[in-house]
Structure 1
Amino acid sequence: MTTLLTIIIFLISYCLLMVEKWNRATVALTGGVLLLICNVYEWEEAFGFIDWDTIALLFSMMVLVSITKKTGVFTYVAIRLAQLVKGRPVPLLIVSALFTAVGSAFLDNVTTVLLFVPVLLSLVKQLQLPSFPYLVTTIFASNIGGAATLIGDPPNIMIGQAVEHFTFLSFLNNMGPVVLIVFIVTLIILIFLFKNKLHYNEKLALEFMKKDANEHLEKNQLLVRSLSVLFLTIAGFMLHPFIHMDITTIAVSGALLLLFTTDHLLDVEHVFQEVEWVTLFFFMGLFMLVGGLQTVGLIDELARAMVWVSDGDLPFTSMMMLWSSGILSGVVDNIPFVAAMIPVVQELQGYGMMNVDPIWWSLALGACLGGNGTLIGASANVVVAGLAASYKEPIPFLKFALYGIPILILSLCICTVYIFLRYLLPFLS
């Protein structure tokens, strides 16, 4: 009876998260509390299921970016990039994709689109360009760029915290090459599809070139200190295997250092108000829901089923993980999917599969790139869609899917070749 109740609560919570009619944090936490009411686990166990390292890392990055954005540096960079290409539509599409991809890799993709999309919508409005091509490109670039690093996409953060030997550099080394290939191929396709819809208005471009980007930049102590601490924190991420400090400690230290050094320059309480608390509580509820599945043994059964289907064959299991995570992440948000799959991969080691690293990379690539399939495939997609709607530039669900699904399939095909050649070929000889 307990197992059946757990499955029902999990599935109902999942469906409510998919339809997005209720706040996702409320849904996830309600599901977790219902498991408590049904005596699936006690409070102590529930708190034990929450990955506090992931919560602390996300919170710290939110604080760092919240303070840095007050300097206007992100708006300044976006305007300067647009002026660098002289307001020409196709080059603007390219630089906006590059800006989003790089920002998503080193700040995280949700934060990047929150900062960049309002600026982007303002730019395309001034140049009288259609917003849809730029919004779609931004979504694709955020998910692709975020896949490259440990902190770029929430699924990567969760996987990085679950596997001790995965570092910031190991993500760059293993995910970076294929992400770069997918990004270049995707950008070429988007340019080909959109170039005839992007018309250059020379008069408006000349007016835009006269804008002074410096008006948006606060050249003060806050700018120097926030950028210094932000770059220092990112450097710490890259060096953490050598300085023997885990990535969460580095992020928390960076956030606290910036709060202390800017305490007299801004209202710290306002900084905490700008933290995306909904996202953090959503993660907590999600971990509690997945913890219920672990408690009743469903995760263990799922792991056994995967081993039975694949017969313990590593190449087959990796490919199955890549395509299933990619396709399912296109249909449902990739965060709850990865939260459910992490303990499954961990259980696989208990069934004789000792080298599961290729499976981890398959899960990460499938989940991150699968988010491009539909508007509900990733948190960044939902954020961009919400921002666009608030600016009266809605993104039609089906129209997006017409671009997203082919890009998703192509990305998975590229990743299949990459994973096969880099990790699986030795196991077939």
Structure 2
Amino acid sequence: MNKCIFRSMGLLLVILFSPLCLASTGADALDLTSSGVGYMAILVFVLAYILVMGEEVLHLRKSKPVLVAAGVIWGMIGLVYAQHGMSHEAEQAFRHNLLEYAELLLFLLVAMTYINAMEERMLFDGLRSWMVNKGFSLRQLFWLTGILAFFISPIADNLTTALLMCAVIMKVGGDNKKFVAMACINVVVAANAGGAFSPFGDITTLMVWQKGILGFTEFFDLFIPSAINFLVPAFIMSAFIANEKPKANDERVEIKRGAFVIIGLFLLTIVMAVSAHSLLGMPPVLGMMTGLGFLQFFGYYLRRTLNKSLARKRALAEQANDEARLHYLGSVVPFDVFNRVAKAEWDTLLFFYGVVVCVGGLGFIGYLSLVSHVMYTQWDVTYANIAVGVLSAIVDNIPVMFAVLTMEPEMSHGQWLLVTLTAGVGGSLLSIGSAAGVALMGQARGIYTFGAHLKWAPVIALGYVASIFVHLWLNSSLF
């Protein structure tokens, strides 16, 4: 029995790695698209992505399957190229993918660290408390959380923004499941739409900017189409929200010292990243890492002056006989920037590595060239870019956009803006189509669900179509 198993495995390896299956497409690449290795690579990637899509059911972090798939795909590529005496070519291709990922990793890590620092300084809690205690009606809160999500996500990211707004919604919505579900849908659409007109709003826009295809200011041409994408479904959905007021909440939140300085440093860091890319021709990550250094220096200042600041505040609290404040001051801990780094969304960052390396491997095999030829040669390019958005509702928009960037089809700036828009907002069509939607299904478990989102999919699709038409009309000179 064991001999049969080993013979079968040996036969499979012969079929997969047989040189007879391969053809050279150039001096530095082999065409593996019709070989056993190519078919096995697609199978591995598909199986990994099925596990990713089942994250909520399986409770398996999405980074695990794609990390393994990346290793298997490039391991097979390396074995074939070694057999042909072309190990150097495979190594260089992998290093190219790794460099692309490293730049994006460091960029995102700095952005996440700043967002976590703001969260630690209680900025987001302060915003939530203000909104809850202002006595807004449910319909006003529906609009307020949506508008804030639309305008915060270009600076932060759509995931962080959606989680913040969902915390507010859950706090004020209470047992009103209908309001919570509809407001969460609105926030997901708004956060994804807001992230589409900024290089910092979504990983896909960041990839397009760092690739040098679109300049920093060119993304702002998508502001009105993105706003339409959010406003069309929001207007329709708001008509179904009751105009009643929720119960007031007496929650008291004190924003910690240095919070607004950190906001200023984050804005300065963004300016440095843009300047490094636009003025110096350097990668934006140079400005971001310099900004991380500024945050570390400010963290050092906060630690050095903490005792003096606490002594002053304790004296004031003792004079006012404020026991609650004295208890709070006794629990204050020094600011540590490396704790903020540790709290970055590492599962997302590692998932991003797996996706970049997997898609890069499929591109090196030759599949992306085939797809590019079909979509961007045989199809109308506008229809192809619209299809990319629909696909991103089923498959995460990161691999979809990375595949398009790897194919790098010949397109006008108007078309590149179109695919950036559709990949960014297309994920709103389904709850599993974006990181914001998946995160909120976990945060509002049992209330904001796949089915609840699907019920409003036709309305969201109306906004998707409207935003495309507005872009085609408004930015017609760019095509």
Q: Fold conserved (TM > 0.5)? A: yes
Q: 1 CA distance for matches of 2:383 and 2:244?
A: 42
Q: 2 CA distance for matches of 1:418 and 1:276?
A: 35
| CA 408–92 in structure 1, closer or farther in 2 if over 3 Å, else same | closer
Q: 2 CA distance for matches of 1:154 and 1:339?
A: 10
Is 1:402 aligned to residue 455 of structure 2?
yes
Q: 1:382 aligns with which of 422, 435, 438?
A: 438
- The aligned amino acid for 1:17 is V
Is 1:13 aligned to residue 48 of structure 2?
yes
Q: 2 CA distance for matches of 1:29 and 1:148?
A: 30
* Partner of residue 313, structure 1: none
Would you say the 8 A contact 2:93–2:364 is kept in 1? no
Deviation at 1:254, TM superposition (A): 1.7
| CA 133–93 in structure 1, closer or farther in 2 if over 3 Å, else same | same
| CA 419–303 in structure 1, closer or farther in 2 if over 3 Å, else same | same
Q: 1:318 aligns with which of 372, 375, 382?
A: 382
Would you say the 8 A contact 1:375–1:382 is kept in 2? yes
Deviation at 1:17, TM superposition (A): 1.8
Is 1:37 aligned to residue 75 of structure 2?
yes
Q: 2 CA distance for matches of 1:73 and 1:308?
A: 49
Q: 2:219 aligns with which of 171, 183, 186?
A: 171
Alignment of 1:196-275 (within 5 A): 196=242, 199-201=244-246, 204-205=247-248, 208=249, 211=250, 213=252, 215-218=253-256, 220=257, 222-236=258-272, 243-244=279-280, 246-263=283-300, 264=303, 265-275=334-344
Deviation at 1:151, TM superposition (A): 0.9
Is 1:290 aligned to residue 359 of structure 2?
yes
- Which SS does the other structure have where 2:77 is aligned? coil
* Partner of residue 369, structure 1: 425
Is 1:28 aligned to residue 66 of structure 2?
yes
Q: Which structure: larger Rg?
A: 2
* Structure 1 stretch displaced more, 151-160 or 239-248: 239-248
TM-score by length of 1: 0.85
Structure 2: 5+ residue runs without aligned partners? Answer: 1-35, 82-89, 304-333
Alignment of 1:151-170 (within 5 A): 151-162=200-211, 164-170=212-218
* Partner of residue 467, structure 2: 415
Q: 2 CA distance for matches of 1:407 and 1:103?
A: 23
* Partner of residue 238, structure 2: 191
Would you say the 8 A contact 1:159–1:342 is kept in 2? yes
Q: 2 CA distance for matches of 1:7 and 1:128?
A: 41
Structure 1: 5+ residue runs without aligned partners? Answer: 311-315, 350-354
* Structure 1 stretch displaced more, 153-162 or 228-237: 228-237
Q: 1 CA distance for matches of 2:274 and 2:139?
A: 33
Would you say the 8 A contact 1:10–1:31 is kept in 2? yes
Give the number of equivalent residue pairs.
396
Is 1:114 aligned to residue 163 of structure 2?
yes
Q: 1 CA distance for matches of 2:213 and 2:381?
A: 21
* Structure 1 stretch displaced more, 365-374 or 225-234: 225-234
Q: 1 CA distance for matches of 2:478 and 2:269?
A: 37
Q: 2 CA distance for matches of 1:257 and 1:27?
A: 36
Deviation at 1:246, TM superposition (A): 4.2
* Partner of residue 337, structure 1: 400
Deviation at 1:357, TM superposition (A): 2.0
Would you say the 8 A contact 2:180–2:448 is kept in 1? no
Would you say the 8 A contact 2:274–2:284 is kept in 1? no
* Structure 1 stretch displaced more, 393-402 or 362-371: 393-402
% same residue = 21
Deviation at 1:94, TM superposition (A): 1.0
Alignment of 1:87-106 (within 5 A): 87-106=136-155
TM-score by length of 2: 0.76
Instruction: State the 4+ residue runs in structure 1 displaced beyond 3 angstroms.
Output: 39-45, 81-84, 126-130, 234-246, 422-427
Q: 2 CA distance for matches of 1:126 and 1:397?
A: 19
- The aligned amino acid for 1:88 is S
